[in-house]
Structure 1
Amino acid sequence: MPAWGITILIVLAVYAGISIAIYYLQEYFLFKPEKLPRDFQFFYENQQVDEYNLETHDDAVVNGLHFKTSQPKGVVLYLKGNSKSIKGWGKFAVDFTRHGYDVIMFDYRGFGKSTGRRSQKGIQQDLQMIYNEVKKKVEEKYIILYGRSLGSGFATKLASVNNPRMLILESPYYSLKKVAAQFVPFMPLSLALRFPLPTYKWIRYVKCPIFIIHGTNDRLIPLASSVKLSQINPDRTRLYTVIGGGHKNLNNFPPYHKMLEEIIHYKEAPINLEGSSYQKDHKQ
């Protein structure tokens, strides 16, 4: 065999090897879980918190926290990012409890005290189970879905098949496949990625108001991702930008909290265009 033929075979073998490695090892790159012992005690200063465990259809356990207010206006189902556990994420519950909303936050399979084998379908089923449990106690018109980073895709899927009051996405991705392609652009991720999370497909079926918050300096998931998402279901979507905000620090920008306050107190109403410049031509 000529030298160039051997070179091609080597390249193909390396390519195939990398593809197989991505398929089987992608969870280690996508998920950065922190595991907690079963007897770990959650504590958050000045917060009333109840811990709960739900058993899934395949005998796994989903562990979560319920941050309570005295007279709740509703409940926020908070879907966190891909790292750590709710031990650290719980500190963000104050951004909603201070406005009178209960917060339910939980760990995905393999995070914190939650157990079970991770898969996109499995996590989606867990989410629907949790949503159904919330619905038993709270009408959907009082449920807010909040998805941050990794959680934005799952939150969008959940909103697309239910009827929550609103969907809030922080630093969302167009699809996880697009994010992964930034780092391995030469790989066939449509075949290799087991967690494609196509937010752009699901968002078109969301029937409630959609609010997207994104930092202009986000290096992991560019602002362009949110711009593209906002164009899919434009009549229901509002896009907020945090000037100078990155991927993990929006909570450190006062405008973010102003945006959040405005969003959670939003009341849907038709736009009154009477007497406005709507459809007036600048050339006239």
Structure 2
Amino acid sequence: MQNWHYILLIVLLAYILISVSLYFLQDYFLFKPEKLSKDFQFFYDNQEIEEYNVETRDGAIINGLRFKAQNPKGVVFYLKGNSKSIKGWGKFAVDFTRHGYDVIMVDYRGFGKSTGRRTQKAVKRDMQVIYNKIKEKVTEKYIILYGRSMGSGFAAKLASMNNPRMLILDAPYYSLSKVAKKYIPFMPLSLLIKFPMPTYKWLKYVNCPIHIIHGTDDRLIPYKTSVKLSKIKPELTKLYTVIGGGHKNLNTFESYHKMLTEIITTKPRKVNLEGSSINVRHSSKRANAKA
């Protein structure tokens, strides 16, 4: 029995050690930031840009770029994924400027030139500050929120608290807690994870059109995740499927660009269901036999 006590003690200590390590090292696993020097100069071929810095109430600096379109129809606030900096993500702005939309991209705390201690609450607050800055120049009916991967959670949160023209989610997750649970199912993640990012909860309070784009071969965030998310507000949501698309390569598919063009250039219209088969139900064989 004494040996069992030792084994139990060792297992318990190992579990505690893993839990403590997970709590303090999760930033390393969740975020892959690229740091940029203060004097770094952004440049993109055939793109006109304007760099800006916004100071938050706790003294952090949020660095961002505005990609300018000719005679803009509106603004796309693009919330990027968990890696690199806007130095690399900026190349995707052309997918919106070519359709006549300005694009705002920012680096989260600790990414690029942005500073400050990174917490879920702080980043949510930062994104609202940037959104408010955009609203000073553009009315909300001309603002599109685009969230890519990790940014999809922050975009959903913003949409739940504001009234943008639409919300576009690119390879979104149900919640980061759910993603982590897939890899470490034996850990008490509800207590340990600092960035639970419950996208599914925030979507419940979104009142604008929701467009979800996901690849069928996404191995990081499975396609079925978007199917589940699309059922939260089905009356407002449309799911777009990129056949064969992975997590990082949707932009290499022609179908993705066709979908994006349709989303941001087509005006929504109400479908007249009068005279359609919407209320027609198939009869059972037994009922047909009686008839």
TM over 0.5: yes
| 2:261 aligned partner | 261
2:17 paired with 1:48: no
- Any idea what the Cα deviations from partners look like across 1:166-202, whole Å, max 9, x if unmatched? 0000000000001111111111100000000000000
Q: Superposed, which structure 2 residues align to 1:34-73 within 5 Å?
A: 34-73=34-73
Q: 1:237: Cα distance to partner?
A: 0.3
- C-alpha distance in 2 between matches for 1:120 and 1:190: 14
- C-alpha distance in 2 between matches for 1:53 and 1:268: 35
- C-alpha distance in 2 between matches for 1:269 and 1:69: 26
Q: Superposed, which structure 2 residues align to 1:117-156 within 5 Å?
A: 117-156=117-156
- Any idea what the Cα deviations from partners look like across 1:230-272, whole Å, max 9, x if unmatched? 0011100000010000000000000000000000023232221
2:98 paired with 1:76: no
Letter in 2 for 1:237: T
Aligned residues: 284
Q: 1:5: Cα distance to partner?
A: 1.1
| 1:270 aligned partner | 270
SS at match of 2:183: coil
2:14 paired with 1:14: yes
- Any idea what the Cα deviations from partners look like across 1:73-107, whole Å, max 9, x if unmatched? 00000000000000000000000001000000010
- C-alpha distance in 2 between matches for 1:228 and 1:42: 38
Letter in 1 for 2:39: D
- C-alpha distance in 1 between matches for 2:282 and 2:68: 53
- Any idea what the Cα deviations from partners look like across 1:12-46, whole Å, max 9, x if unmatched? 11001100111111000000000000000000000
- C-alpha distance in 2 between matches for 1:91 and 1:64: 14
2:114 paired with 1:107: no
- C-alpha distance in 1 between matches for 2:12 and 2:240: 45
- Any idea what the Cα deviations from partners look like across 1:140-174, whole Å, max 9, x if unmatched? 00000000000000000000000000000000000
- C-alpha distance in 2 between matches for 1:238 and 1:12: 47
- C-alpha distance in 2 between matches for 1:273 and 1:126: 43
The TM-score with structure 2 as length reference comes to: 0.96
| 2:225 aligned partner | 225
Q: 1:275: Cα distance to partner?
A: 1.4
- C-alpha distance in 2 between matches for 1:23 and 1:229: 27
- C-alpha distance in 1 between matches for 2:266 and 2:180: 34
Unaligned residue ranges in structure 2 (runs of 5+):
none
| 1:281 aligned partner | 281
- C-alpha distance in 2 between matches for 1:79 and 1:37: 21
The TM-score with structure 1 as length reference comes to: 0.99
Letter in 1 for 2:216: T
Q: 1:279: Cα distance to partner?
A: 1.0
2:205 paired with 1:205: yes
| 1:5 aligned partner | 5
- C-alpha distance in 2 between matches for 1:108 and 1:45: 24
- Any idea what the Cα deviations from partners look like across 1:189-242, whole Å, max 9, x if unmatched? 000000000000000100000000000000000011101100011100000010
| 1:242 aligned partner | 242
Letter in 2 for 1:87: K
- Any idea what the Cα deviations from partners look like across 1:107-145, whole Å, max 9, x if unmatched? 000000000000000000000000000000000000000
SS at match of 2:144: strand
| 2:29 aligned partner | 29
Instruction: Please provide the CA RMSD for this pair.
Output: 0.8
- C-alpha distance in 2 between matches for 1:39 and 1:120: 28
